[in-house]
Amino acid sequence: MASGSFPVQADPTDPEAELEGSSTPRPAVGADAASLVARYVQVRDFTRQLAAPLSAEDCVVQSMPDASPTKWHLAHVTWFFETFVLKPQAQRGFDYRVFDPDFEYLFNSYYNSVGAQYPRGQRGLITRPDLATVLAYREHVDQALARLIEGEPVGQAVELAGLIELGLQHEQQHQELLLMDIKHALFQSPKLSAYAAQREPSGVALRSAAPSAALAYIDFGGGLASVGHDRRGFCFDNERPRHQVHLADFRLANRLVTNAEYLEFVAAGGYSEPLHWLSDGWARVQSAGWRAPSYWLQRDGAWFEYTLGGLVALDPAAPVCHVSYFEAEAFASWAGARLPTEFEWERAAEVSAQRGQADVAAGNFVESGRLHPGAAPLAAGPQQLFGDCWEWTSSSYAPYPGFRAAPGALGEYNGKFMVSQQVLRGGACVTSASHFRSSYRNFFYPHQRWMFSGIRLAR
Amino acid sequence: MASGSFPVQADPTDPEAELEGSSTPRPAVGADAASLVARYVQVRDFTRQLAAPLSAEDCVVQSMPDASPTKWHLAHVTWFFETFVLKPQAQRGFDYRVFDPDFEYLFNSYYNSVGAQYPRGQRGLITRPDLATVLAYREHVDQALARLIEGEPVGQAVELAGLIELGLQHEQQHQELLLMDIKHALFQSPKLSAYAAQREPSGVALRSAAPSAALAYIDFGGGLASVGHDRRGFCFDNERPRHQVHLADFRLANRLVTNAEYLEFVAAGGYSEPLHWLSDGWARVQSAGWRAPSYWLQRDGAWFEYTLGGLVALDPAAPVCHVSYFEAEAFASWAGARLPTEFEWERAAEVSAQRGQADVAAGNFVESGRLHPGAAPLAAGPQQLFGDCWEWTSSSYAPYPGFRAAPGALGEYNGKFMVSQQVLRGGACVTSASHFRSSYRNFFYPHQRWMFSGIRLAR
Amino acid sequence: MASGSFPVQADPTDPEAELEGSSTPRPAVGADAASLVARYVQVRDFTRQLAAPLSAEDCVVQSMPDASPTKWHLAHVTWFFETFVLKPQAQRGFDYRVFDPDFEYLFNSYYNSVGAQYPRGQRGLITRPDLATVLAYREHVDQALARLIEGEPVGQAVELAGLIELGLQHEQQHQELLLMDIKHALFQSPKLSAYAAQREPSGVALRSAAPSAALAYIDFGGGLASVGHDRRGFCFDNERPRHQVHLADFRLANRLVTNAEYLEFVAAGGYSEPLHWLSDGWARVQSAGWRAPSYWLQRDGAWFEYTLGGLVALDPAAPVCHVSYFEAEAFASWAGARLPTEFEWERAAEVSAQRGQADVAAGNFVESGRLHPGAAPLAAGPQQLFGDCWEWTSSSYAPYPGFRAAPGALGEYNGKFMVSQQVLRGGACVTSASHFRSSYRNFFYPHQRWMFSGIRLAR
Amino acid sequence: MASGSFPVQADPTDPEAELEGSSTPRPAVGADAASLVARYVQVRDFTRQLAAPLSAEDCVVQSMPDASPTKWHLAHVTWFFETFVLKPQAQRGFDYRVFDPDFEYLFNSYYNSVGAQYPRGQRGLITRPDLATVLAYREHVDQALARLIEGEPVGQAVELAGLIELGLQHEQQHQELLLMDIKHALFQSPKLSAYAAQREPSGVALRSAAPSAALAYIDFGGGLASVGHDRRGFCFDNERPRHQVHLADFRLANRLVTNAEYLEFVAAGGYSEPLHWLSDGWARVQSAGWRAPSYWLQRDGAWFEYTLGGLVALDPAAPVCHVSYFEAEAFASWAGARLPTEFEWERAAEVSAQRGQADVAAGNFVESGRLHPGAAPLAAGPQQLFGDCWEWTSSSYAPYPGFRAAPGALGEYNGKFMVSQQVLRGGACVTSASHFRSSYRNFFYPHQRWMFSGIRLAR
């Protein structure tokens, strides 16, 4: 995600496939044309809805090299279907006319196998094609996809269905990136206005109704544990193969670190004391002038936070969000705790789900419409595991034992980012619930913080 | 102009004012309300016309720190009237409501006396206010100005008329910047489309009908010469005071250097041979990878040039344009010639005008609608002195003897840029003829080349 | 090591200490004064011997921010003893006079607990104190240490002995850094002369007598394995606690990748094809202009390698050295293999040692005097596991489960580097054998390559 | 001088040569072999004396790209004689063996005609050849030069004498650079020790005995004035041709601005108020964090200044030194004055010399041994015109009308620096009196301040 579009892959070559009783990858939806079309329409429409509150001006700017313009996201995810579904089908005889040959270069993110790419840092300079043309491009591709799916006995075309599902999962990742990026862009205009007019800070939607639960630690037993995706439904290749790890006993916090708790760290001079920080982290604090999480502003002594609903008073009970790995690690160190490994997190999530104490469907995901993390419920068991904020882990992003990249362009995606980044788990309030599973691995560089990233402590 | 808006000033404190029989600065137009309103409307409308072919997306982007978005230009020139005319009048009782208090910060270019400024390099991130709001801002200020001028016995308010004229001259400078900047921005989109649909390369408007005149040198006698503005009509403070300089005899080329001539330099390895270049110039050639003037592209061996009318074949007879001082100086050195001083240029222009061989009104200025330099006519006397391309001089931008900056914010403008830049003379095809005079001094850093800058040789 | 001096610690708070039947850390040597003095003298003398072939000029320069001058190394390791041994003893009554109070600031590497530090990137500008003064500083501290050890019933001062051992291990790390850094510095002078006159390329010491063994893979069984230091003798805190990991079956190459093999990658266009590279790696190849490992030079078509013995023809049978993680990973990917994890490496080393197929004492370490890796012997079992080149692993540098930093300044060292770096194993031809053990973890950033780093493949 | 060695040239092609009754350039000394040898020995010895107090370590470091190591200066000036005198003579049969062929690359400063150059910013990394070898190089060249001069009937070899004189003038420029550069280098070591032991701050040599004269302005009449060198003795090509300029009446301060006066500017918040500064100057104040002239330090509220004699209390009566053009211009603006043009300065110097009020021989030049500017005498007429500090002028460094660069490598030197720099006049306490004349033009970039640069006001 750090690079703008996830490395994704349906993993058709998995060596364990036969052992698991299935010789083909499975799309997330049933393999009939109607349901595939329905899911396609739903996902594609949702992207358009996300862009709807924005003006053409909002959609063109790029506020930093890590972010991309909304218009670029709208086009790139469409390019993905054109490049990896429609063009190969056209070579086999499907009637498809490329919308604009220049788009192959313009909207390729990083696929060297496909060809050269327009410079990433200059995506905000593409005023032509304009937004209307890009929306027409979407329409053009959508109509072709519909024709393709309906004309095809998909029961005999599982691979095609898998590719389409991959394109949809890819688009869901870009929906989250779109929200992250537009939040960053709107933050540059001094107006600090809300992403959507109807989302003006209401004091209701974003504020917690009650204080969050007290911080407590939940015990989890160690030993050999299986981690990674079990091949029930879709996953990316970086979640595979499922394999065993050995864990010591561990304890995990019952909820995310709150703004109130993080504020104590700030007030205690956390950003002035090198001893709390990783060496690279302290260098970053100084070079970037960090004094608080991203989007925090202090005015007349009071702290505010910029949200997609506009500027609001900092909610003490809500989870701290938009912190870098360096900040998460420094906070944990200051608090006498540590961050969990990605496997501790996954183990705890699976155990809690089995115990009925954690449920993806109940998480604060993008479907809730809040677009901001909220306070933890006063309930037993681990809270906020799913949704709200991505949780930094102490695990670096690395291939699982036996990982192999797929051949061809689609294999270019995941392996090539497996260095110098940290894994985050759990999804966020801007992630689709239908896109999430507990084996999901997100990854960012330790200094990045424009994603919705928070902290869960471990011991 | 290098900094995005010229230092400008009506020079009310000129020590020679009394000697010249006038105790007040004079606006360029007659001091009656009707003509002032007419000129105001004309200049302001022209800005809007320049922006009209552009989409809101085109208007928001900033393609480099030296350039500004069209929307920013539209707002900043309006801010100038609000800040230096309307707000002071409101303090004296004129009924004026500030359109938006945030604009003082957002659209201040570099006036430290007025207050802090939104970071220059981030002007392209201001999506809100949107273009429609900025156009409403223009309307709001225009109505107030109209009320002010009509309600005011301007015959008794020469100072006010001078300030308004200053604002209009300022806006004309930004009209040129707008065209320079949008050309640079559109060049970033791979489509290389024309600025305006009706300006698609026609092969007629931009191509020369005939070869240019042969290069020849015209003799001008030396001795003591008076240079600087003579106070007939408007001028900026950097053109004053008029004073004497001693010139040796000199010779000036009869026209600008053509693309064909410059191409010889390129073909002869001009960009590979350090001996032709100033030391700083050679360093820039290497760090920036220059191989030709800005906007030149080579495709399949043939040279093309991006113009505001789109990509066209390089016209051998047209003047070379968009060269840096370093390139102009290197070319002159390679050609066994030199660049003129700004006073040689001014002397030649005045002498030629007296001889009837040069006429501002006949120049290729923005009023011609060509927006690109054209080939020199086959005529006697110096050609292309006015319009077509700004002409680099070997003079650094420095104060004239006795120059004094005005008190207050308006005095902040000119003096503070008087180091490390070179003077250019003569106006260009994107300059207003009504804004130009032969004492006009433009200035840019020696490495800059996105303005319409060309070369005239001297000996 | 990447930061110039290892985070090091005797691990006195290890939770397993009691289980292992010892309540105190143990120095590597016997706890009698005579043997401690002997080891102290041996290590300190060796540092001086390493500096002996160098002129005062050689000793002062710093060729890049990652490297330090020889003089700085000579002083910093002395400062370590003064700061962590002599000053605390002086507070308890030991008669010690600080050599120069300014040195606390000047030769502190990164210990924020101790105080501010002279800027790292400017170490090469310290001409005063000069080399003679720094050598006098060493003498001053050595005499005080000798007095301290002899006057102290060390049997009752195990902690002191542990600190001194820590200082010696620290100095051994800097011996390796000194050789890495001076190699880099001497490479900047066009003479490409040898580190020491007597080390001029002889064609004997550095060239292999015979071709290296054919590449083969050795099988190792998976399952639960114990990794980390077992507390027999000295270790750094990052090797602790010993703990269990689960490994799948794996295969490890019988020797390091040779120059001949790497040359095939170069000749096959390895540095021109993005598909072989990690995304960050490809970006580095382009920004740094890499075309081959560090210290390789091509002259008239033939490849040469700069060594501490001067410039020599590239030895096809010797291991490729001075490659970054990016290059190691790209090579492995191109070769259809992968890099081992640090635990696979450690497991293989322990198993091989038990089988009598690997022996630290037989490795090409600094004691051999060759200062360059050599070809692998034609023998059964894994070759070159110990010495020759540090071996990149696919493991990021992270704390072991249960790792805790020590309190105080000495705890500042290890944990704070545990992000964004990769672990290397095995030691190199510039490492002391007496400093090495199979649980040893070295670490560098993935782009660094001035250390003696090589490649061992796994599957 | 800004680039490390002046563009220099004996101007043999001067078009006015015949008019002035001489067809050949003239060396500064009489054209007999004995006196030429004597001068050669004197200048070359003085360079060695300047390096004598320094250790080999002091001589190798380069503290910033603008500065060069002492060892490099020692070698480069020798290279100049080898390249431009001995090698051409060897081609004509003179018996000369090149000392080391690698030096052509290593010690070439910027002569593209001669060949490629070792990267300027890495001169501090050349530890080999060492200092002793470079001193042997000097000896080798000196002996050859002596043989050459004595064996040659110099009366018939005026051109050769001119070239040797050029080499000596070049070496005198580098003597000044050597002192500037070593001052900068020693300032990086926290000891802030004196350049030479015998120069430890004595409180006598560097402190003024009395307050400086009160600031007053001296009137000079305007009109046509001749400026530039009159061909009596040696000059560089940038001082030619002598030509006429028109000056208005002007007033020049009777002495340099003192530390006390500059301190008022500092205390008045001069470095915090953008309105005093040129736009580029203010940007530099902020990016570089300037708060006072270079080498000023504040300790416990009191101001100190680092000098070649070590750290001393700031002398209120001595001239402010080590200021950039930006600071000089801002100070003048704050003081309600301005800087003189280079022609005003030259005119005032010539008039004052004619009046017997200014005398190069009485100036505080390097021959005084003080190596620091001193307070102005209480005397009539302009003080400190010659020596003490180079005086910033408002003139940019540009060619005089009719300037032509010489053909060949020696013509590469002067013209290519004529952009973006400002002229300084008057010489400094580290300049040789025998090297100075009132037409002398020094030049630096407006942000530079490690040279001995001060301020004289004008009106």
Out of C246, C398, C422, whose CB is closest to A224?
C246
DSSP C335-391: TT-BPPPHHHHHHHHHHHHHTTS--GGGSB-GGGS--S--PPPS-SS--SSSBSSEE
Out of C58, C118, C190, whose CB is closest to D190?
C118
Check whether residue C246 and residue C101 sit in a common domain.
Answer: no
Check whether residue A165 and residue A107 sit in a common domain.
Answer: yes
Q: What is the pLDDT of residues B78-119, one digit of tens each?
A: 999 999 999 999 998 999 999 999 999 999 998 888 888 999
% of residues, chain B, pLDDT over 70: 88
Single out the residue of C106, C100, C150, C154 nearest to residue C127, CA to CA: C106
CA B409 to mean position of chain CA atoms: 22
Contacts of residue B63 in chain A, CB cutoff 8 Å?
125
Mutation site for C-interface testing, chosen from A66, A246, A447 by largest number of C Cβ within 10 Å = A246
The whole-number pLDDT of residue B209 equals: 55
Cα(C69)–Cα(D124) distance, rounded to whole angstroms? Answer: 12
Name the neighbours of C, counting chains with at least 3 Cβ pairs within 8 A. A, D
Single out the residue of B50, B52, B28, B26 nearest to residue B39, CA to CA: B28
Q: What is the pLDDT of residues A26-83, one digit of tens each?
A: 444 445 778 888 999 999 999 999 999 999 999 999 999 999 999 999 999 999 999 9
Residue D257 inside a domain? The answer is yes
Expressed as residue numbers, the domain containing D93 is 31-187
Residue A459 inside a domain? The answer is no
C103, closest residue in chain D (CA to CA)? D190
The whole-number pLDDT of residue A35 equals: 87
Q: What is the pLDDT of residues B253-265, one digit of tens each?
A: 999 999 999 999 9
Q: Do A245 and C246 touch (CB under 8 A)?
A: yes
Check whether residue C131 and residue C246 sit in a common domain.
Answer: no
Check whether residue D230 and residue D334 sit in a common domain.
Answer: yes
Contacts of residue B246 in chain D, CB cutoff 8 Å?
224, 244-246
Window 436-455 of D: residues touching B by CB (8 A cutoff) are: 446
Please give the average per-residue pLDDT across C254-279, as a whole number. Answer: 96
Residue A198 inside a domain? The answer is no
Out of B326, B394, B412, whose CB is closest to D398?
B394
B/C Cβ contact: 3+ pairs below 8 Å: no
A/D Cβ contact: 3+ pairs below 8 Å: no
Out of B58, B61, B102, whose CB is closest to A124?
B61
Check whether residue D174 and residue D242 sit in a common domain.
Answer: no
Residue D208 inside a domain? The answer is no
Name the neighbours of A, counting chains with at least 3 Cβ pairs within 8 A. B, C
Contacts of residue D3 in chain B, CB cutoff 8 Å?
279
C224, closest residue in chain A (CA to CA)? A246
Q: What is the pLDDT of residues A200-210, one digit of tens each?
A: 444 334 445 56
The whole-number pLDDT of residue B2 equals: 35
C184, closest residue in chain D (CA to CA)? D125
Cα(B342)–Cα(B353) distance, rounded to whole angstroms? Answer: 16
Check whether residue C246 and residue C364 sit in a common domain.
Answer: yes
Rounded to a whole number, what is the distance in Å from the CA of B377 to chain D's nearest CA? Answer: 31
Check whether residue D84 and residue D153 sit in a common domain.
Answer: yes
Answering whether pTM is above 0.90, one says yes
Q: What is the pLDDT of residues C186-213, one digit of tens each?
A: 999 988 999 986 544 443 344 455 677 8
Number of independent structural domains in chain A: 2
Residue A365: is its pLDDT beyond 80? yes
Residue B140: both structure tokens together: 């709001």
Q: Looking at A395-404, B379-388, B403-412, C375-384, which range is the least confident one?
A: B403-412
Q: Do C127 and D102 touch (CB under 8 A)?
A: no
Residue B48: is its pLDDT beyond 50? yes
Within an 8 Å CB–CB cutoff, is residue A118 touching chain B? yes
Contacts of residue C395 in chain A, CB cutoff 8 Å?
398
Contacts of residue D277 in chain B, CB cutoff 8 Å?
416
The whole-number pLDDT of residue D150 equals: 84
The whole-number pLDDT of residue A1 equals: 38
Check whether residue B300 and residue B443 sit in a common domain.
Answer: yes
Q: What is the pLDDT of residues B291-349, one digit of tens each?
A: 999 999 999 999 999 999 999 999 999 999 999 999 999 999 999 999 999 999 999 99
Letter for the amino acid at D140? Answer: H
Q: What is the pLDDT of residues D388-419, one digit of tens each?
A: 999 999 999 999 999 987 777 777 667 789 99
The whole-number pLDDT of residue B256 equals: 97
C58, closest residue in chain D (CA to CA)? D127
Single out the residue of C371, C14, C349 nearest to residue C186, CA to CA: C371
Residue D459 inside a domain? The answer is no
Residue D263 inside a domain? The answer is yes
Residue D4: is its pLDDT beyond 60? no
Q: What is the pLDDT of residues C312-349, one digit of tens each?
A: 999 999 999 999 999 999 999 999 999 999 999 999 99
Q: Do A419 and C3 touch (CB under 8 A)?
A: no
pLDDT band for position B23 (cuts 50, 70, 90): very low
CB B435 within 8 Å of CB B458 = no
* 3-state class (DSSP) for residue A143: helix
Check whether residue A274 and residue A362 sit in a common domain.
Answer: yes
Contacts of residue B185 in chain A, CB cutoff 8 Å?
125, 127
A/B Cβ contact: 3+ pairs below 8 Å: yes
Residue D367 inside a domain? The answer is yes
Q: Do A419 and C243 touch (CB under 8 A)?
A: no
Residue C291: both structure tokens together: 């075309």
Out of C113, C243, C420, whose CB is closest to A248?
C243
CATH of the domain at C412: 3.90.1580.10
Mean pLDDT over the full length of chain D: 88
Within an 8 Å CB–CB cutoff, is residue A66 touching chain C? no
Rounded to a whole number, what is the distance in Å from the CA of C430 to chain D's nearest CA? Answer: 22
Out of A55, A105, A186, whose CB is closest to B56?
A55
CA A350 to mean position of chain CA atoms: 20
Out of D130, D189, D190, whose CB is closest to C57?
D130
| ipTM score assigned to the predicted complex | 0.91
Residue C281: is its pLDDT beyond 60? yes
The whole-number pLDDT of residue D389 equals: 98
Residue D349 inside a domain? The answer is yes
Name the neighbours of D, counting chains with at least 3 Cβ pairs within 8 A. B, C
Q: Do C278 and A396 touch (CB under 8 A)?
A: no
% of residues, chain C, pLDDT over 90: 76
Within an 8 Å CB–CB cutoff, is residue C197 touching chain A? no
Out of B274, B329, B419, whose CB is closest to D446?
B419
Mutation site for B-interface testing, chosen from D226, D246, D334 by largest number of B Cβ within 10 Å = D246
Check whether residue A181 and residue A238 sit in a common domain.
Answer: no
Q: What is the pLDDT of residues A402-440, one digit of tens each?
A: 998 777 777 766 778 999 999 999 999 999 999 999 999
Check whether residue A224 and residue A178 sit in a common domain.
Answer: no
Answer with the one of B168, B187, B206 that is the final residue of a domain.
Answer: B187
Interface size between A and B, measured as CB pairs under 8 A: 81
Q: Do B113 and D275 touch (CB under 8 A)?
A: yes
Q: Do B59 and A61 touch (CB under 8 A)?
A: no
Answer with the one of C144, C166, C187 that is the final residue of a domain.
Answer: C187
Q: Do B57 and A127 touch (CB under 8 A)?
A: yes
Rounded to a whole number, what is the distance in Å from the CA of D208 to chain B's nearest CA? Answer: 35
Within an 8 Å CB–CB cutoff, is residue B109 touching chain D? no
CB A77 within 8 Å of CB A138 = no
Rounded to a whole number, what is the distance in Å from the CA of B56 to chain A's nearest CA? Answer: 6
Window 258-317 of C: residues touching D by CB (8 A cutoff) are: none
Check whether residue A231 and residue A118 sit in a common domain.
Answer: no
pLDDT band for position C297 (cuts 50, 70, 90): very high
CA atoms within 13 A on the CB side of C437: 16
Within an 8 Å CB–CB cutoff, is residue B108 touching chain A? no
Q: Do A191 and B128 touch (CB under 8 A)?
A: yes
Residue C51: is its pLDDT beyond 80? yes
Residue D111: is its pLDDT beyond 70? yes
Contacts of D261 (CB under 8 A, 6+ apart): D215, D320, D335
Question: According to the 3-state scheme, what is the secondary structure of chain B?
Answer: CCCCCCCCCCCCCCCCCHHHCCCCCCCCCCCCHHHHHHHHHHHHHHHHHHHCCCCHHHHHCCCCCCCCCHHHHHHHHHHHHHHHHHHHHHHCCCCCCCCCCCHHHHCCCCCCCCCCCCCHHHHHHCCCCCHHHHHHHHHHHHHHHHHHHHHCCHHHCHHHHHHHHHHHHHHHHHHHHHHHHHHHHHCCCCCCCCCCHHHCCCCCCCCCCCCCCCCCEEEECCEEEEECCCCCCCCCHHHCCCEEEEECCEEEECCCCEHHHHHHHHHCCHHHCHHHCCHHHHHHHHHHCCCCCCCEEEECCEEEEEECCEEEECCCCCECCCCCHHHHHHHHHHCCCECCCHHHHHHHHHHHHHCCCCCHHHCECHHHCCCCCCCCCCCCCCCCCCECCEEEEEEECCCCCCCCCCCCHHHHCCHHHCCCCEEEECCCCCCCHHHCCCCCCEEECCCCCCCCEECCCEC
The whole-number pLDDT of residue A22 equals: 30
Q: Do D63 and C125 touch (CB under 8 A)?
A: yes
